[in-house]
Structure 1
Amino acid sequence: MASSSNQAQNFNYTVNIESSSGNILNNQNNVFIEGVCDSTATSVIENFVDVFDDSFSRTTNLWKPKVSDPNFKPYSGQWFKDIESCFQFYTQYGLQGGFNVRKSTQKVKNKKIVTKYIICSHGGHHETSISKLSKHSDDAMSESSHVSSVVGDQVRRRNTITKKCECSAKVILKSLGPLDSDPYVVSCFIEVHNHPLAFESGKEFLRANRSMTALQRHFLLDASKSNLGAYRAHGIYKSCFGLYSDVGPTAVDFQNWMRDIKLYIGKHDDDMLLQKFRDKNETSDGGFCYEYQTDSDGHLTRLFWADVRGRKNYDVFGDVVSFDATYHTNKYGMVFVPFIGVNNHWKNVTFASALLDHENETNFTWACEMFLKVFCRPPKCIITDQCLAMKVAIQKTFPDSIHRYCMWHIMQKFPAKIGPVFCAESGFMEKLNKFVWSSHLTVAEFEEGWNAMLNEFGLSNHVWLNEIYGMRKSWIPTFFRDKPMGALLRTTSRSESSNFYFNHFVQKGDTLSEFYMCYESAI
C-alpha cells in the first residue's frame, strides 16, 4: 500500500475505492485503476468494461476518462447518421477525456461499410511491415508515408517512434441496413485505456485541438508572401491572439502544413501556375498576357508574362528598359528576368518578367520576341550587362534600339584586369573616372583624354583596355549625348535593385506557384 500511496501523491490522485490488493484512484480528468492482482480487484474493473482478454496482464494499470458532461460519452446502442458524425462525437469525448482518436479497420459488404472501428490513437501495435496492415484500414494509408524499402513481398517501414501500446479503448459501429443512407449504431464501447491520459494543462496539445482553421491557413499563406517562414508566422499569430493556448496549432503544425502544401503542389507546379495565368487572362479581358514553352517531357522551360499595370506603364515610361538575367530563383534554378524602367518619380516600374531555364542566346531571343509581341513596339534604349548572348538577341529582335552596356559592371573589372595595387596607388582610377563618367565631353575630347591617360601610365598596349575602348560607343556616356533618352540610365542598377527587392519576398526553394505568389505581393 505504500507504493500505491506514493503513486497517488505523484499524480495528485485521491483514493476513491480501496481493496486488499488494488486501488481505484481518480482526479478531475480521469480515473486510474491500479494494481489488478486478485479476484476482488478484477471484479471491480469488470464493472467498468466487460471486454477483457488475456492480452491484459494481471498487473495492468488502467485509466478511465472522466468527462464533465455525460452527454458527450458514447454508449452501446447509440445511433449516428453516418460514420463521420460518430467520429466527430468520439473526438469531442476524447478532448474532454484527454486522448486522441483515429479511424481504424472496417468491413465492407457490397461496397457498403458495415462495420467501422474508431479507436484510441494508442490502439494497435507498431508494424514493421506495411503489407501486414488491412487494405481497408485508414492506418495503411497513413503508414504509406513511412515506407523505407521493399524486400520481396514485404514493404519495410522506416523505424520511427510509436505511441501504440495496444490500447483497447474503442467504439465499434455497425450499419443498420444495406443502403448508404442507413444509420449506424454503436455495437461496442470500451471505455478504459492502458496508458495515462492528458491532464487539463496538456489537453491543448491534443491533435483535435491543433487542427488549423481557415483563418490560420490564410494567415500563413499571406505571411509566406512576405517571405516569413512558418515558425515566425506562428510567433506573430500568437502575439496577435494572446497565449499559445489561444492559437491551437503549434509552430511545428504550421511548418508541417506548409510542407504538405509543397508536397501537394509537387510535379503539378507548372500546371497550377499556368492555370492561374489563364484565369488572370480571362478576368482581365486579355489585359494580362503570357506566353510559355515546354520541352519534350512537358517541363516548363520558358515563361513570359505582363500584367495590365505593366503594359500601361510601358506606354508612358517605356523609352528605356533595363534587362538583367543574373538572378536565379525558385527550386528549379530558373533565371528570373525582369524588364525594368523608370517612371516620372524616378522610381522603378516593372513592365514584364520572364523565367528561363538557361542563360543562352535562344532563350534571350525568345524573351525579347515575346516582349515585342506583347508591347508592339521596341524600347528606344535598352541597357544590359556585358553578355554576348544578350547582345546577339537584342540585335536580332530590336535592331533599331540603342543597346548600352552597364558602366558599373565594366568599371568593376578594372582592378582585376589591370591590378588592384596599381589601381589603388597610381591615381589611375581617379583620372579614368573623370573621362568615362562625364557626359559633358565631346567625342574628340574623350578620345584625346583616353589616349593621353594610357600613355601617361604606360598602358597603351594593354589588350583588355584596347578591347573595351573598341566598344566605347556601347558604354561611354559621351556617345549617348545626342541619343533620345540615351542618358536616362547608365547602369543596370535599376534591375539589380529590383532583384534585391524581390529577394526579400522569395526563396530559392520556392516552387513556381509560391514564387509568383510572392512576386505579386512584391509588385
Structure 2
Amino acid sequence: MPKPCNADGSQQSPAMDADGMPLISGMDALGIPAVSSLELTMDVTFESPKTWIPTVDASFLPKVGQRFTTLGLGIKFYMDYAFAGGFDVRHSTMKRDREGGVTMRYMVCSREGVKGGGKRTVGKADDAGGDSHKQRRRRISNRVECNAKICFRKDHTGEFVVSIFVEDHSHSLCSEPSKVFMRGNRKLDVAQQAFISNCIKSNIGPSKGFRLCKEGAGSYANVGATNMEFHNFKRDLQAYIAGGDGEMIIKKFTQKREVCDGFVFDYHLDTENRLSRLFWADTISRSNYSLFGDVISFDATYGTNRYSLVFVPFTWVDNHKRCVTFAAGLLTREDSESYMWLLEKFKSGMGHSPRCVVTDQDPAMKVAIERVLPECRHRFCMWHIMTKVSEKSGVELARNEVFRRKLNGIVWSDKICVAEFEAQWQALMEEYRPVDNRWFCKLYEERSFWIPAFFMDLPMSGLLRTTSRSEAQNNVFGQFTRPHSSLVVFYVQFECVLEAQRHKQAKMNAECEAYLPEFKTPLPMERHVAQLFTITIFYELQREIVAGCFDCRVVGIHEEQGQIRYDIKGADNTDAQMEVLPTQYVVGRWCKQRNVGAYTTRGCHGDTGELGSNRLWAEINASAALVGNNSGRVSRMVQVLQELRGEFTSGDNSAGHVGGNMSAIEAFCGVSRPRSITIKAPAQAKNKGSGK
C-alpha cells in the first residue's frame, strides 16, 4: 500500500514524539493488517452553528435607543429580560469620565468568553525536569464565546441609552425547571437572611439550616436559593467581621451600656493593642447574683472561639437548684495575673464578694482568690481529686476495694468533725502506706480546702463539694458555640444560652405559682412549706416530713424556759429532740418570692429593633397559619403584602439600603464595621486546653 504523501507529492514523515522517536500506530504494533484510508473514513456530518433567541414578552425585550433615567434601572431591566429568557448575565467593560462617573457599561451573557481554568502552571522545577508543578483545581466551565450583550451609554441629557443590543445566543437557553439554579435567581430574600441569622444564634450550620428552610417552604424549588447561598452568608459574615472583631465586640458592649446602666463590662489590651481580657455581666445576671450569689463556682472551658481564648463563666444555682450564670470572662492566658484581673472586675461589678468559691486545684486560681477575695472561703472540687486516687495510690491499692471503701468513707463523710477526720486519715495512711505518699501528704496539707469537716459551719456545704454545676453549664455553652466562632458571634450565641436558661427558670416560677404539689400527710406544716418554698425544695422537705410523720413518734413533751421541747423516737429506736422551728431556718434563697419577675423582665429595653422584628415575624407567621389552604385568603394576604412592599420601597432611597447580605449581617452583629481599628483582635492563645 502506498505511503501517505503530502500535497506536493513528497512522502510524509512518521509522527515523532517529544524525544524524536517515531510514533507506532496501535495496529502496527499489534501486527494487525493495515486498513486503507477509505475504510477508515467515518461519515460525520457537522451541522451549521445554531443561534438561540429568547422568547419573551415584548415588554421585556430591550431595544436600541431605549432610554433609562439611571444606569441601575437599565441594568435591572436587562436582568429581568435575562431571567425571563433563561440566561445569566454579568458585568463587563465600563468607562468613566474624569469625575469618576460611569459613561458606558456593557452587560454580557454569562457564557461569553472561553474557559480560563485547568491549565498547568510551569514552574522552575519543570524546567529542571522535576515533578513539583502545580495543577489548578479542575473546574467545569460554561464559556462558549456567546456574543449576546447590551451596552448602555450616557448621553448629554444624563440619561443612559441602549446603544448596542445583541439578542442571539450561541447556546441553548435554560429550561423552565432549570431557571431556579440560574445565578440571578439564587438569592436570599430578607426572610431567609433572618432565618440563617437565627440558625447561627442557635449553632445550626448552613447545610442543616438549608434543609430546615426547605421544610418550611415545601420544596427546594420554593426556597429560591441553594445550599451554596446559605454557606456564602456565613462566609460573608466572617469577611464582615474579619480583623475588626476586637473593635466590634467592645463597640457592641459600649452600646449596650449606653441603653442600660446595669450592663457592666471591662477589657484589657496587651502591648500590641490586642484584646487580651474581657469581662461582662448584664442587669439580670447581677440581679440574680444579689439573690443567689452566696456561693459561686467557675471552671475554665475551651474551644468556644477562633482565638482559643479561655472562657470562664461564673455559675451557681437558683432557688430551683438550676444553674444560673452571673457573669463571664475571656482570657488569653491562664496565669494568676489574668485571674486576679478577672476576679477584681467581678467583685467591683457585683458589689460584694461571695461567701465561698468552688474551683479545681488550679494553682493560678488559688493565688488569685487568696489575693482578691481574702474574706472568701475557697474549696477544691472533690471529684477532681478523687479521680486521681487510682493513679497516685499504685496498682495494688487501686484494685483494693477495702482501701477505696475506707478512703471514701473518711473523705466524703459529713458526719465527722475535724479531729475525727485527722485521726482516721493518719490511721489509714499508716495501714496501707500508698506508693505516692507525697501526693497524699499534699492533700492532707490542703485538707482545709476540700474535706467536708472543714465546711460544716457553711450553709449548703453539701452542695459545695464539686464543680459539677460549672461543668454542666460549660457543656451547654459548648453545644451553642463552635471553635471557629468570632467574638461577636460567640457573644450572640452566649446570649442565646442565657435566654434559654432564663426561659426554663421563668417556666419553673410559673409552675410554683400555678400548681400545688401532691400532699402525703395531714400535717398543716406540709401545706405551709408548700406555700413557702419552690416545688423542687418542697419535695426534698416533704421526704423529711413524711419520715417524721410515719416513721417517728413523740414520746414526751415538756416546757423549758418558755420553749416547748418534744422528745421524738425514730424508726431505728433512736431518741431525738426538736425545738419549735425557728425562723432562721427558713432560708430566703429557696423561697418562691425571691426571684419573682427576675427572669420575665428584660431589665433594659435597648434592643427595641430586635423586639419589633421578632414581633413582626410572629404576626406574619400567625396570619399565614390562619390562611391555610384557603385560596381566597392566600390571594388577599399576598395582595396586602405586595402593597405594603411597594409602599415601603417607593421613595426610600435615603434609607441607605445595603445590597446582598450586608444589611442582614450588620443587623445580626448589632454594630457596623469599623472604619479604623484601634482595638485589635486577640492573638491566638496557647493554653493547656487549646490543643496548641
- TM class by smaller structure: 0.7 to 0.9
Q: What SS class does the counterpart of residue 480 from structure 2 fall into?
A: coil
Pick one of 153, 165, 172 that aligns with 1:174.
153
Counterparts of 1:74 and 1:357, CA distance in 2: 60
Identity %: 41
- The letter for the 1-side match of 2:108 is I
Quick one: distance in 2 between partners of 1:319 and 1:460? 40
1:113 and 2:89 are equivalent in the alignment: no
Alignment partner for residue 78 of structure 2, among 87, 90, 100?
90
8 Å contact from structure 1 (residues 480, 487) kept in 2: no
Q: Which residue of 1 aligns with 2:410?
A: 435
When residues 212 and 160 of structure 1 are mapped into structure 2, their CA distance, relative to the original with a 3 A threshold, is farther
Match of 2:167 among 173, 184, 191: 191
**Any idea what SS the aligned residue of 2:52 has?**
strand
Contact 1:381-1:485 at 8 Å conserved across structures:
no
In structure 2, relative to structure 1, the CA distance for the partners of 1:345 and 1:196 (3 Å cut) is: same
Tell me by how many angstroms 1:209 deviates: 1.4
Q: Which residue of 1 aligns with 2:231?
A: 255
- 2:153 paired with 1:165: no
Cα gap change, 1:260 to 1:427, in 2 (>3 Å): same
User: SS at the partner of 2:107?
Assistant: strand
* Corresponding residue number in structure 2 for 1:334: 309
For residues 247-271 of structure 1, the C-alpha deviation after alignment (integer angstroms, 9 at most, x for no partner) is 0111121012211211221111111
1:403 has 2:391 as partner: no
Given candidates 388, 410, 413, the residue that maps to 2:388 is 413
Q: Does 1:213 align with 2:189?
A: yes
Judge conservation of contact 2:54–2:85 (CA < 8 Å) in 1: yes
Quick one: distance in 2 between partners of 1:386 and 1:65? 75
Aligned to 1:294: 269
- In 1, the alpha carbon distance for the partners of 2:159 and 2:88 equals 24
CA distances 1:102-137 after superposition (whole Å, capped 9, x unpaired)? 111111123221111011111234557xxxxxxxxx
CA distance in 2 between partners of 1:490 and 1:216 (Å): 47
SS state at 2:172 partner: coil
- Which residue does the alignment assign to 1:272? 248
Alpha-carbon contact 1:451-1:460 (below 8 Å) kept: no
Trace 1:5-154 onto structure 2 (pairs within 5 A).
Answer: 59-67=48-56, 69-110=57-98, 111-126=100-115
CA contact (8 A) 1:98 1:203 kept: yes
**Cα deviation digits, residues 351-382 of structure 1 (max 9, x gap):** 10000011111110100011111112111100
User: Distance in 2 between the 1:437 and 1:217 partners?
Assistant: 54
Question: Which consecutive unaligned segments of at least 5 residues does structure 2 have?
Answer: 1-44, 118-122, 124-133, 499-692
Distance 2:353 2:137 in 1: 61
Q: Which has the larger radius of gyration?
A: 2
Q: 1:470 aligns with which of 434, 437, 445?
A: 445
Match of 1:492 in 2: 467
Q: Give the Cα separation in 2 of the matches to 1:485 and 1:106.
A: 75
Deviation, structure 1 residue 517: 0.8
Which of residues 229, 235, 257 in structure 2 aligns to 1:281? 257
Deviates more, 1:161-170 or 1:410-419: 161-170
How far 1:420 sits from its partner (Å)?
5.1
Distance in 2 (CA, whole Å) between partners of 1:502 and 1:424 is 37
Greater share of strand? 1
1:515 paired to 2:504:
no
The amino acid across from 1:490 in the alignment is R
Task: Tell me, yes or no, if the aligned pair for 2:397 and 2:434 is still in contact at 8 Å.
Answer: no
Determine the structure 2 residue equivalent to 1:18.
none
Matches within 5 A, 1:305-344: 305-344=280-319
**Matches of 1:94 and 1:420, distance apart in 2:** 77
- Find the aligned partners of 2:435 and 2:181 in 1 and give their Cα distance: 76
Judge conservation of contact 1:104–1:119 (CA < 8 Å) in 2. Answer: yes
Is 1:303 aligned to 2:292, yes or no?
Answer: no
> In structure 1, what residue type is equivalent to 2:392?
K
Structure 1 counterpart SS, 2:352: coil
Q: After alignment, is 471-480 or 255-264 more displaced?
A: 255-264
Q: Secondary structure at 1:427's aligned position in 2?
A: helix
Which residue is 1:143 aligned to?
none
TM-aligned CA deviation for residue 158 of structure 1: 6.4
Of residues 198, 202, 206 in structure 2, which corresponds to 1:222?
Answer: 198
Partner of 1:381: 356
Residues 344, 64 of structure 1: CA spacing in aligned structure 2 closer, same or farther, 3 A cutoff? same
1:486 CA displacement: 4.3
What residue in structure 2 maps to residue 239 of structure 1?
215
Structure 1 CA distance for aligned equivalents of residues 176 and 193 of structure 2: 27
TM-score (norm 1): 0.80
Match of 1:28 in 2: none
